[in-house]
Structure 1
Amino acid sequence: MAEKEGSNTRKNVQMPEINGRPRINLPALRGFLSQFPGKLQKHLKSRFKRPTEKDAANREMFKFKDAKINLEKQLQAWRKNPVWDVNQPPAIEVSVPKDSLCQLNVEVNVGLPPDAIYNIVIDPDNKRVFKNIQEVLSRKVLLDEGSRQVVELEQAAIWRFLFWSGTISVHVMVDQNREDYSMKFKQVKPGFMKRFEGCWRVEPILLDEKLCYPCKPKTLSEYMSCTQGNGRIASKVTLQQLIEPAIVPPPPISWYLRGITTRTTEMLISDLVDEAARIKGVSNSVSNCITTETDVHHRVSDEHQVDETFDIKERWALRRRRRTRGSM
């Protein structure tokens, strides 16, 4: 009997402890757990959506379709004030992904608005600008949606490295979109090159934003208004391309091929900078200015010196000196 009473006493002692704990509302807990994945997903979407909306706003801001803004006005602003001494060579990063010859990432600032730069890059007759394009073999527009076109293009491209040179056929599909100033290209059929693909991109740079101080323009119209139409817009140009031959040769041949690719890409950028200067009326093309035998001798000497210089900053310093001599 005593044992039974003791048992009842223990039960009576334990019951208050159990009853004293916070009671859990099981239906509410189940409801929370069932809604948690959806709430988490919604939260993550909102967090990741913010940069996208901001980027979209930036793209909207810098569209050159504003009724008050046009390319000719921008070019006039540059012709009035063509000097912009960035004094920096393009940044060229060379990496070697697995089974590839190289991947190039190039970035350079050019003193012209994005529309003008984009016009140069997508011009069907841009072989007059890019001297490594020997001939356009074929060009066919497969899709035209106004601001976006898909073009099948075949070119004969020239390569040079030290005292060697040659040509190679490049057959690519090009997707060009003026809305975001991008031009993506990809090889149509594998041949000597297993993969050849990349992308040009152009982004605006507001050079004279200080004229708006203490205000900060939020739209292109505001920028042009506070600078009284004299605010210049430059461009940050980036080029990414991946090159993978059918057979990747061993060193030192792969080193030479990588050097050829890097110099060819550098030539493209140099030609783009020269064309921008020509459009602004800063200087004439070196090839048009050099007429005397002495000048020709200096030009050939400089070209060899440029090719033999491995430091990119030194090469671009030599090119600037050559342009200065040509404009005299």
Structure 2
Amino acid sequence: MGIFPGFGAWINLNSQQPPKAESRKSKNVKSKPGSEINTSAESEETKRQLKMWRAEEKKWPWLRDYAPTVKVSKSSIGETHLKMDFSIGLPPETVFDIITSHDNQTYSYFIQMKRRKILSVKSSKVLRDNGRDEKVVVVKKSAPWKFLRWNGKMPLDLVFNENRKDLITLFRIPREDVMNMELFMGQLQIKPWYIDSDKYCTARVPKNPKEYRKCSGGKGLIASKLKLDLVYRPMEPLDKPPFSWYIRRVIIKSTKRLMEDLQIRGAVLRSI
């Protein structure tokens, strides 16, 4: 559990809570589509940035949401590590809202109708709510699969720890719902990208939004850089070729499409 900081403490805390107590605190939540995300909880700076992004998009459309770069490696104990880096032309808090909306929309599906939906969301439930900074949510999803002439939908439950303060989302498949996986967990981290710092901040590189706003005179746009780290290990005999090759190909392809879908959601929100 030491692969990602905070995972061990999060899982231990969840395992210490009795199921009945959890269910009393839980509540069903209905998420909004990415284009209707409520920004009332965002900071004034984020609201100002979002307004600037929309004005800029009308003049010069953002073209720097490059396709995610993918790196894959395998450890000596059979764990596959998947890393992806990409960017979205929106401020970090807004991107965090998109990630944690858990809505039913899949924008790449609607834009490119020949592609199957990557995931469908059935429901979401808040297990623990520590206010604005942190939530633990269980999301029930289904993933379509196809092998030769057979196809269907596989139920999938994911637990998310949403940390707004650090702009990090941890996720994992619960042990009791592994679905042929001994291990499946990861984290998605968002960091600010001061894209106009070279233009406005010639004296020094800004370290935070406050410094950036001062040196740019409030004109500098803040984008987001995202880093996804995913670790998984299939159960035997699926951890051996040729099964492991097929699982690896499906996970890489599906994960990349999910990240590209985040970029499409960002473009939709930026242009409204």
What's the TM-score once normalised by structure 2's chain length?
0.70
- Report the counterpart of residue 59 of structure 1 in structure 2: none
More strand by share: 2
Given that 2:50 and 2:270 are in contact with CA atoms closer than 8 Å, whether structure 1 keeps it comes out as yes
Amino acid in structure 1 at the alignment position of 2:268: R
Offset of 1:232 from its aligned partner? Answer: 0.6
After alignment, is 94-103 or 146-155 more displaced?
A: 94-103
Given that 2:141 and 2:157 are in contact with CA atoms closer than 8 Å, whether structure 1 keeps it comes out as yes
- Report the counterpart of residue 211 of structure 2 in structure 1: 222
For the structure 1 residues 140 and 237, does the alpha-carbon distance in structure 2 shift closer, same or farther, using more than 3 Å as the test? same
Report the 3-state secondary structure (helix = DSSP H, G, I; strand = E; otherwise coil) of the residue aligned with 1:173: strand
* Cα deviation digits, residues 96-115 of structure 1 (max 9, x gap): 23454632111101111111
- Report the counterpart of residue 265 of structure 2 in structure 1: 275
Amino acid in structure 2 at the alignment position of 1:144: N
How far, CA to CA, are the matches of 2:120 and 2:255 in structure 1?
Answer: 15
Given that 2:106 and 2:118 are in contact with CA atoms closer than 8 Å, whether structure 1 keeps it comes out as no
Offset of 1:85 from its aligned partner? Answer: 3.2
Given that 1:112 and 1:233 are in contact with CA atoms closer than 8 Å, whether structure 2 keeps it comes out as yes
1:237 matched to 2:226: yes
1:97 matched to 2:75: yes
For the structure 1 residues 124 and 90, does the alpha-carbon distance in structure 2 shift closer, same or farther, using more than 3 Å as the test? closer
Of residues 136, 153, 174, the one that matches 1:150 is 136
Report the 3-state secondary structure (helix = DSSP H, G, I; strand = E; otherwise coil) of the residue aligned with 1:70: helix
1:177 matched to 2:163: yes
Report the 3-state secondary structure (helix = DSSP H, G, I; strand = E; otherwise coil) of the residue aligned with 1:174: strand
How far, CA to CA, are the matches of 2:143 and 2:251 in structure 1?
Answer: 12
Offset of 1:167 from its aligned partner? Answer: 2.7
- Report the counterpart of residue 113 of structure 1 in structure 2: 91
Amino acid in structure 2 at the alignment position of 1:78: W
Given that 2:104 and 2:120 are in contact with CA atoms closer than 8 Å, whether structure 1 keeps it comes out as no
For the structure 1 residues 163 and 227, does the alpha-carbon distance in structure 2 shift closer, same or farther, using more than 3 Å as the test? farther
How far, CA to CA, are the matches of 2:145 and 2:97 in structure 1?
Answer: 24
How far, CA to CA, are the matches of 1:229 and 1:163 in structure 2?
Answer: 57
For the structure 1 residues 264 and 211, does the alpha-carbon distance in structure 2 shift closer, same or farther, using more than 3 Å as the test? same
Offset of 1:66 from its aligned partner? Answer: 10
- Report the counterpart of residue 182 of structure 2 in structure 1: 194
Any gaps of 5 or more consecutive residues in structure 1? 1-64, 283-328
More helix by share: 1
After alignment, is 265-274 or 223-232 more displaced?
A: 223-232
Identity of aligned residues (%): 27
Report the 3-state secondary structure (helix = DSSP H, G, I; strand = E; otherwise coil) of the residue aligned with 1:120: helix
- Report the counterpart of residue 264 of structure 1 in structure 2: 254
Offset of 1:251 from its aligned partner? Answer: 1.9
Report the 3-state secondary structure (helix = DSSP H, G, I; strand = E; otherwise coil) of the residue aligned with 1:89: coil
Matching of residues 6-45 of structure 1 within 5 Å: none
1:73 matched to 2:48: yes
Give me the CA root mean square deviation: 2.8
Given that 1:160 and 1:264 are in contact with CA atoms closer than 8 Å, whether structure 2 keeps it comes out as no
Report the 3-state secondary structure (helix = DSSP H, G, I; strand = E; otherwise coil) of the residue aligned with 1:105: strand
How far, CA to CA, are the matches of 2:71 and 2:233 in structure 1?
Answer: 16
Offset of 1:124 from its aligned partner? Answer: 3.1
Report the 3-state secondary structure (helix = DSSP H, G, I; strand = E; otherwise coil) of the residue aligned with 1:109: strand
Structure number, greater radius of gyration: 1
For the structure 1 residues 148 and 87, does the alpha-carbon distance in structure 2 shift closer, same or farther, using more than 3 Å as the test? closer
- Report the counterpart of residue 205 of structure 1 in structure 2: 193
For the structure 1 residues 279 and 263, does the alpha-carbon distance in structure 2 shift closer, same or farther, using more than 3 Å as the test? same
Any gaps of 5 or more consecutive residues in structure 2? 1-40, 109-116
* Cα deviation digits, residues 231-287 of structure 1 (max 9, x gap): 1111111111112222243322321221111100011011011111111118xxxxx
Offset of 1:164 from its aligned partner? Answer: 7.2
How far, CA to CA, are the matches of 2:198 and 2:77 in structure 1?
Answer: 48
Offset of 1:129 from its aligned partner? Answer: 4.8
For the structure 1 residues 66 and 79, does the alpha-carbon distance in structure 2 shift closer, same or farther, using more than 3 Å as the test? closer
For the structure 1 residues 219 and 257, does the alpha-carbon distance in structure 2 shift closer, same or farther, using more than 3 Å as the test? closer
